Amino acid sequence: DPSSNPGTTPATTNEAEFDASRAVIPGGVNSPVRAYGSVGGTPRFYASASGPHVTDVTGRRYVDLVCSWGPALLGHAHPEVVAAVQEAATRGLSFGAPTHGETELAETVLSRLEVDGRRAIERLRLVSTGTEATMTAIRLARGATDRPLIIKFAGHYHGHSDGLLAEAGSGVATQGLPGSAGIPADVAAQTLVLPYNDLDAIDAAFAAHPGRIAAIITEAAGANAGVLRPDPGLNAALAARAHAHGALLILDEVLTGFRVGPAGWWGREAAGLEGGPSGGSTGSTWTPDLVAFGKVIGGGMPLAAIGGRRDVMELLAPLGPVYQAGTLSGNPLAVAAGLATLRLADEAVYRRVDEASAAVSDGVAAAFSELGHPVTISRAGSLFSLAFRDGAVRDYDDAKAQEGWRYRAFFASMLGQGVALPPSVYEAWFLSAAHDEAAVDQILAALPVAARAAVE
């Protein structure tokens, strides 16, 4: 009886739900891409989710390739994670005081980010969203260096704080223009937007702004303009460039952290899985100064974190002069979900996510090659995305130079066949350890039909 559950109103169609939500919520959604704006059609209103599946208000079930935009590494509503949250809830929803679980989560994250005895971070602070994590990392970098400017890369997303929405062309050291209305030009001008995978642009920016750049912020592997894989050695080179100029490297692992491996993308590089500067296989020895986490760390609950070097992290209040706070920071239910998720996310989980991702991405490639239609699959660990173009996607300009309109028909066909893809061609596809053979087979069976719809 849906009326007994206040989370699911008894409306019978997605259209009725969308009409009702649009009357009270801008665009009917609480985060823009959920509105299906670039793929068309009516967003599905979900009533429940379990394992690899989501179920909409009409009772229709889909294999889910969004996984809540990353967090659902174990699949939806993993029984042990749900039980941990339920147990925590019985002890109180929020205290506004420190708890044992927060320490345990920080210890877990610190020890996970250790490869061959080398730790990437020494201290961790919990917040509620990835946006807060990167915003605080930037404030810390500015506080630590007493410098104003930040370098970010075109096509990288770090949340919606003012300075990080800045977007500009790919010109060297272009001064950021507001990427959103409501951001003063002088705020946007503190962000230098550079092309990704282009060290010459970095050198030019440091030369043009001597002693003024506080930090480079980069996604550990780009996954917000489709997947933009870092060239081998790029992150190590960014760390070296930053340090040579007295700036910090902020590694954004909100999306990659605990998803592409037990120690995130940094862990893959440190373990030699992604090749060193020469493309070789020895582990790389660079360390970021600050790391932002989100998504998987909270197991589907609102939780994120900033980690980093002790000397930088201890600039945070109450020890230092950089202010940051949060009523719900380290919320006990979110911490319980995060702890349970990380406890369960063992090697077998990552192996299954890797296998399922490989099977699906190979299936996408095969479906289009069967039709003789060139597409590019970009991969970074278990993350991958599809671009309707011939040739590698190394930066934002490449990502935009595609026949993205073809995704509309592709998406609609998959949805019609019971597979819910990310509702934008610029998003990575997310799998989980709950994507078993049956779920993968359903995706593989749908792909040839959708590929035909896309190329027509």
Cβ closest to ligand PLP, residue 74 vs residue 250: 250
The correct pick among 55, 145, 224, 287 for binding ligand PLP (CB under 6 A) is 224
The correct pick among 14, 21, 55, 129 for binding ligand PLP (CB under 6 A) is 129
For ligand PLP, what does the binding mask look like between residues 381 and 410, x meaning CB under 6 A? ------------------------------
219 binds ligand PLP, rule: CB under 6 A: yes
Active site residue 295: yes
Q: Show the 3-state SS of the chain.
A: CHHHCCCCCCCCCHHHHHHHHHCCCHHHCCCHHHHCCCCCCCCCCEEEEEECEEEECCCCEEEECCHHHCCCCCCECCHHHHHHHHHHHHCCCCCCCCCHHHHHHHHHHHHHCEECCEECCCEEEEECCHHHHHHHHHHHHHHHHCCCEEEEECCCCCCCCHHHCCECCCCCCEECECCCCCCCHHHHCCEEEECCCCHHHHHHHHHHCCCCEEEEEEECCECCCCCECCCCCHHHHHHHHHHHCCCEEEEEECCCCCCCCCCHHHHHHHCCCCCCCCCCCCCCCCCCCEEEECHHHHCCCCCEEEEECHHHHCCECCCCCECCCCCCCCCHHHHHHHHHHHHHCCHHHHHHHHHHHHHHHHHHHHHHHHCCCCCEEEEECCEEEEECCCCCCCCHHHHHCCCCCHHHHHHHHHHHCCEECCCCCCCCECCCCCCCHHHHHHHHHHHHHHHHHHHC
By CB under 6 A, the residues from 51 to 70 that bind ligand PLP are 69
The correct pick among 157, 266, 350, 411 for binding ligand PLP (CB under 6 A) is 157
294 binds ligand PLP, rule: CB under 6 A: yes
Select the span of 99-107, 127-135, 317-325, 433-441 touching ligand PLP (CB under 6 A): 127-135
One of 36, 157, 407, 426 is an active-site residue; which one? 157
Cβ closest to ligand PLP, residue 259 vs residue 435: 259
Give me the least distance between CB of 210 and ligand PLP, in Å please: 29
Residue of minimal CB distance from ligand PLP?
Answer: 130
Cβ closest to ligand PLP, residue 157 vs residue 429: 157
One of 198, 252, 395, 398 is an active-site residue; which one? 252
130 binds ligand PLP, rule: CB under 6 A: yes
Cβ closest to ligand PLP, residue 217 vs residue 367: 217
Cβ closest to ligand PLP, residue 3 vs residue 31: 31
Active site residue 203: no
Active site residue 350: no
Query: How far is residue 334's CA from residue 75's CA, in Å, rounded to a whole number?
Result: 17
Number of residues that bind ligand PLP (CB under 6 A): 15
155 binds ligand PLP, rule: CB under 6 A: no
Cβ closest to ligand PLP, residue 188 vs residue 296: 296
By CB under 6 A, the residues from 159 to 198 that bind ligand PLP are 159
227 binds ligand PLP, rule: CB under 6 A: no
Name the residues that contact ligand PLP, by CB under 6 A. 69, 129-131, 134, 157-159, 219, 224, 252, 254-255, 294, 304
Query: Known catalytic residues?
Result: 157, 252, 295
